[in-house]
């Protein structure tokens, strides 16, 4: 006989119903048992009720994950005009990251996770695939020669792409191989600053790093190993200050850059605001404008700070942003990578007068 105990426990099947069951045998097939019509109706009603609850739950989760409608902005003085709106360029990606401007006003950006590509967007907005199987190249940089530098998170290395050829710049040292590098920025000499927070999930007690790779060097110099999860990294337009954010904490740190590329005098530069209690800040990629205002992708949107670290405001984005970069013919368009989408926002501020970010 069929096992009816689970249905008894749910009050769906009773002994009187069992006595009314019917069964059949055919060609030696194992005996099958059916419920009475009245109990089948009860079972069906229960399943319908459960299904409606599931449907409502799925609808709620889908609505929570869906991008929020873009609303006209309140504006931030000298940064973005009141009434401007964050506009969708394209969606349908897996996880966008790594935007970096090209000299002609175009953009490179990455699509991670199941996609694993680097895309190229022309100044006119046409998007094509630049590189397949990019090893989760979540951070990109560009030098004056147009060569692309990438952190390959799953490849655990820093690479350079020139004339279609990929050159590995470093994989760390034999004693300390890279864990899972995340973001990078070039200095004016061609050196590479990069973060190596390791793979997710965050492991308590795991030491993670901020590095500098001097031009021509094969092994990077460790700059800091005391940030919980270093992520976004950028150098001020005068090349004198390195800025690094922390995905876990709310502090953005500043360092004085030395002539050899190493750093000194680590200090808090700014604090992300309005991060809900108990949640990570989500601090991610960063950009600077020509006045050294800092733009930080975070849990709450793109937070903006002046050159002294004073908070100016937050640009809300329909999806949680991962990175930002100025581009366009006049470098007055802020491109924002945000989960499954690429967005843009017309700005009053202008991106820095240098290659890449």
Question: What pLDDT, in 10s, does the model give residues 133-147?
Answer: 999 999 999 999 999
Nearest to 330 by CA among 300, 290, 298: 290
The pLDDT, as a whole number, for residue 13 is: 39
| Cα gap 74→12, rounded to integer Å | 57
According to DSSP H, which parts of the chain are helical? 5-9, 15-19, 37-65
Q: What percent of the chain has pLDDT over 70?
A: 82
Q: How many CB atoms lie within 10 A of CB 132?
A: 9
What local confidence, expressed as pLDDT, does residue 163 receive? 93
CB 161 within 8 A of CB 150: yes
Mean pLDDT score of the chain, rounded to an integer? 87
| Mean pLDDT confidence for 91-102 | 98
Taken as a whole, the chain contains a residue count of 357
Residue-wise pLDDT tens digits, 277-290 = 999 999 999 999 99
pLDDT of residue 307 exceeding 80, the answer is yes
User: In order of start, what are the domains of the chain with their CATH numbers?
Assistant: 5-63 (no CATH), 73-346 (2.120.10.30)
Question: DSSP secondary structure string, 149-214?
Answer: EEEETTTTEEEEEETTEEEEEE-B-SSSB-----EEEE-TTS-EEEEE--SSSP-TT---EEEEE-
Does position 20 have pLDDT exceeding 90, yes or no? no
Structure confidence at residue 15 (pLDDT): 40
pTM for the model stands at 0.82
């Amino acid at each position: 006989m069929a096992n009816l105990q689970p249905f008894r426990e749910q009050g769906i099947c009773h002994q009187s119903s069992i006595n009314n069951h019917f069964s059949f045998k055919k060609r030696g097939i194992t005996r099958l048992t059916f419920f009475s019509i009245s109990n089948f109706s009860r079972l069906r009603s229960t399943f319908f009720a459960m299904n409606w609850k599931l449907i409502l739950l799925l609808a709620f989760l889908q609505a929570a994950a869906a991008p929020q409608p873009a609303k006209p902005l309140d504006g931030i003085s000298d940064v973005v005009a009141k009434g401007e709106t964050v506009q969708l360029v394209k969606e349908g990606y897996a996880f966008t990251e790594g935007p970096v401007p090209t000299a002609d006003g175009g953009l490179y950006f990455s699509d991670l996770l199941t996609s694993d590509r680097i895309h190229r967007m022309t100044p006119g907005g046409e998007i094509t695939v630049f590189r397949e199987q990019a090893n989760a190249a979540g951070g990109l940089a560009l030098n004056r020669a147009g060569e692309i530098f990438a952190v390959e998170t799953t490849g655990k290395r820093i690479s350079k792409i020139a004339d279609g050829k990929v050159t590995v710049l470093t994989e760390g040292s034999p004693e300390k191989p890279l864990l899972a590098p995340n973001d990078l920025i070039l200095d004016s000499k061609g050196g590479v600053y990069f973060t190596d927070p390791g793979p997710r999930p965050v492991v308590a007690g795991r030491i993670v790093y901020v590095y500098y790779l001097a031009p021509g060097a094969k092994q990077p110099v460790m700059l800091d190993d005391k940030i919980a999860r270093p992520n976004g990294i950028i150098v001020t337009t005068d090349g004198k200050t390195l800025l690094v954010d922390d995905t876990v904490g709310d502090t953005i740190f500043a360092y004085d850059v030395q002539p050899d590329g190493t750093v000194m005098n680590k200090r808090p530069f700014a604090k992300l605001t309005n991060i809900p209690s108990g949640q990570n800040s989500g601090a991610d990629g960063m950009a600077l404008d020509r006045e050294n205002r800092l733009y930080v992708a975070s849990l709450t949107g793109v937070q903006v700070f002046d050159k002294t670290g004073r908070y100016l405001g937050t640009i809300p984005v329909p999806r949680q942003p991962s990175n930002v970069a100025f581009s366009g013919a006049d470098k007055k368009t802020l491109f924002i990578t945000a989960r499954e989408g690429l967005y843009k926002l017309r700005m009053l501020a202008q991106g820095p007068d240098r290659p890449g970010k």
